[in-house]
Amino acid sequence: MADEVAIEAVIFDLDGTLLDTETAATKIIERFLKQFNKPYPWEVNNSVIGLRDDVWPTKIITALDLHMHLTPAMLLQEWKREMRANMPYVPLLPGAERLTNHLHLAGIPIGLGTSSSTEGVAVKRAANPTLFSRFSAIVCGDHPSVINGKPAPDIFLTVANELGVAPNRCLVIEDSPFGVEAALAAQMWAVAIPDPRVGPEPFHHAHAVHNSLNDVDLSRWRLPPL
């Protein structure tokens, strides 16, 4: 039972969990695709949330039949350029500051396990230095130990290893179904904070589902309550 487990570390996803980068990313791709007279349906966007940079551009191009007009490298390059320009204006999601600061001050090790590249995380870190200073371990999608991205467990297992905490003593907080699957594959506990447009249905396998980080029940995991 989850309430019998004493959690020793908390691992956060980044995009869509702590930072509202998914909103900016979606708008950037929508604008870019207009030149090809292509919409960017929500179901396509939802299918790439949580994937690495070497995976999601190909999935979008395939889903929208853009092979004759666009390469994954072209889409990724434009997306990165726009994201760099927008990053100073991307807000933290509700509860991100409060929860990470609380855990940090309570002495609970916290880690970051993100599909974003090291380059992308550096841009986000520069815009949010206080947030990033709280993480004892940061593992990106291009980390040498990460052979397979989410939903494989590599990212989260690498974070646990760097924190020095057993996987079954780690709580993962995620916004994507792929991320929750990765946490479960790593034999960790998973809390989902879904995008309201997705709803809770794809997260039936998570140990808990909440509307925001403000709602996470830390006492369930024997962590100091907010």
Active site residues: 13, 15
CA separation for the pair 72, 67 (Å, rounded): 9
Structure tokens given for 148: 């397979």
Structure tokens given for 22: 């998914």
Where is 171: in which H helix or E strand?
strand 170-174
| Residues sharing a CB contact under 8 Å with residue 79, sequence separation 6 or more, in sequence order | 25, 28, 29, 32, 57
Structure tokens given for 125: 């870190």
**Pick from 33, 88, 30, 99: nearest CA to 66:** 33
Chain length of the chain: 226
Write out the E strands in the chain.
Answer: 9-12, 110-113, 137-139, 170-174, 189-192, 208-209
